Amino acid sequence: MQAIVSIFCGGANDPAKVRQFQKTALNEHSWTPLDFGRKTQSYLVLSRLIQQCPIERLKVLEEIRLSRFPSVAHYHYFIERAKKEKSDLQADVTNGFYVIDNQGNLESTASTLVPFFSAIPAWTGFNTANPKSDVMSAELFKRSLYVFCGHGSGSDAVGGWGRLVRKGIKAHCHLIGCSSGRLREVGRTDPRGTPLKILDSGAPSCLSLLWSVTDRDIDRYTLRLYADWFAGKRSSQEPGASLARFIKQAEVACKLGPLNGGAVVNYGLVPCCTRVPQNWDKGLPKVINYSA
């Protein structure tokens, strides 16, 4: 706790800042679960031993909006940056970009998702094709929301995520691919993985999957997630509907919700969707959820 206070207060033993931290941490939260979850965003900084555990799905945390940060220093940096750059907490739905089945071997994914994403006004993207890495880089620098649906983290679509570290990505990145959010241990160093590379590249958030999933279930989850998020109502204190409200709820679309939808976690800040265009649901199928 002393380390957290020190980081929050900038390392200075300033009584005024310590009192401010105590007020924020202890006095400004309502501990009624539903009220707390509705008004507050909470962040997890997890030990290397439990990075692969879906902590967000614990029963005691089901009403709380959750996201992950690799360290308290990351949290402090992004929160301070968001005070100056409002786009860090907002996903402009009129400024989206997608890549679907870039390897061309997921026919079900392409047939399910392309009609929806391609019909959203002002969105552009690629399906069953791999864009050039310089095109991808340019899109990530200027777009507000990037959605990838395919194998893994889509690193082949950008020429490797490592090449974009510290380059200033602006887009909120959603990587709907097997194990795209898995962090791997290499020796004694802290676990590393694509989500951390993306955060270190400047992106404010990265939605990704902790383990491998089945394609049809995660396709249904994807449609349910964006349908509910784009149509969601905002609270009085937010510019739009918060993504954190729908990450777990979208599991209802899956045949095996906890096994497939339960793999989805968010790293970094949690955006609210803004400027949702009319007719965004033109390509949405009439039935999304799994039915026997």
Q: What is the pLDDT of residue 9?
A: 63
The ranges of the chain with pLDDT < 50 are 29-31, 33
Pick from 169, 131, 123: which is nearest to 147 by CA? 123
- Phi first, then psi, for residue 110 (nearest 5°) are -65, -45
Q: What is the pLDDT of residue 30?
A: 46
Give the pLDDT confidence of 139-160 residue by residue, as tens digits.
Answer: 999 999 999 999 999 999 888 8
Q: What is the pLDDT of residue 24?
A: 64
Q: Facing residues of 90 across strands? A: 272
pTM score: 0.87
Q: Would you say 182 and 42 are in contact if contact means Cβ atoms under 8 Å apart?
A: no
SS3 sequence of 200-269: HCCCCEEEEECCCCCHHHHHHHHHHHHHHHHHCCCCCCCCCCEHHHCCCHHHHHCCCHHHHHHHEEEEEC
Q: What is the pLDDT of residue 142?
A: 94
The CATH T-level fold of domain 43-274 is Rossmann fold (3.40.50)
- Please give the full DSSP string across 96-113, using - where no structure is assigned: EEEEE-TTS--HHHHHHH
Give CA–CA dist 230/205, Å, rounded. 17
DSSP class of residue 25 equals I
Give CA–CA dist 51/176, Å, rounded. 18
Q: What is the pLDDT of residue 31?
A: 47
Q: Per-residue b/e over 60-78, b at no fewer than 16 CB within 10 Å?
A: ebeebbbbbbbeeebbeeb
DSSP class of residue 79 equals H
Q: List the chain domain ranges.
A: 1-30, 43-274
Q: Would you say 206 and 173 are in contact if contact means Cβ atoms under 8 Å apart?
A: yes
CB neighbour class for 90 (10 Å; exposed up to 12, middle 13-18, buried from 19): buried
**CA dist 100 → 111, 192, 221, 246, 254 (Å):** 10, 25, 15, 22, 19
Q: Would you say 267 and 208 are in contact if contact means Cβ atoms under 8 Å apart?
A: yes
